Amino acid sequence: MSDIQEKIEQARQEAHAISEEKGATSPDAAAAWDVVEELQAEASHQRQQQSETEPFFGQYCDENPDAAECLIYDD
């Protein structure tokens, strides 16, 4: 997660620099901000997936589906 945060930060700085150099509505600025957008969307997806996985039983029961704590008989 910290890796993608670093990438976002880097992309943001780049976008700011390009916007200043070539103009806020130049195609290059658009491309640079689009990268920020894409990374932020990805970070948000990852966050969502993380919050969806159950804190303990999710991972534990994926690895040990036969453990007593994980057995659920659908009957």
Partner 1 sequence: MSKPDRVVLIGVAGDSGCGKSTFLNRLADLFGTELMTVICLDDYHSLDRKGRKEAGVTALDPRANNFDLMYEQVKALKNGETIMKPIYNHETGLIDPPEKIEPNRIIVIEGLHPLYDERVRELLDFSVYLDIDDEVKIAWKIQRDMAERGHSYEDVLASIEARRPDFKAYIEPQRGHADIVIRVMPTQLIPNDTERKVLRVQLIQREGRDGFEPAYLFDEGSTIQWTPCGRKLTCSYPGIRLAYGPDTYYGHEVSVLEVDGQFENLEEMIYVEGHLSKTDTQYYGELTHLLLQHKDYPGSNNGTGLFQVLTGLKMRAAYERLTSQKAPVAASV
Non-local CB neighbours of 43 within 8 Å, separated by 6+ positions: 1, 4, 5, 8
Angle (CA) 45 47 51, round 5°: 115
CB of 54 to partner 1, least distance (A): 14
Kindly report the backbone phi and psi dihedral angles of residue 19, in degrees, each rounded to the nearest multiple of 5, phi listed first.
Answer: -60, -40
Only segment of 21-29, 53-61, 62-70 that touches partner 1 (CB under 8 A): 21-29
Footprint of partner 1 on 22-41 (CB under 8 A)? 24-41
- Which residue lies nearer to partner 1 by CB, 47 or 67? 47
- Check if the beta carbon of residue 70 is closer than 8 Å to that of residue 61: yes
CB of 64 to partner 1, least distance (A): 24
CB of 1 to partner 1, least distance (A): 10
| Count of chain residues binding partner 1 (CB under 8 A) | 34
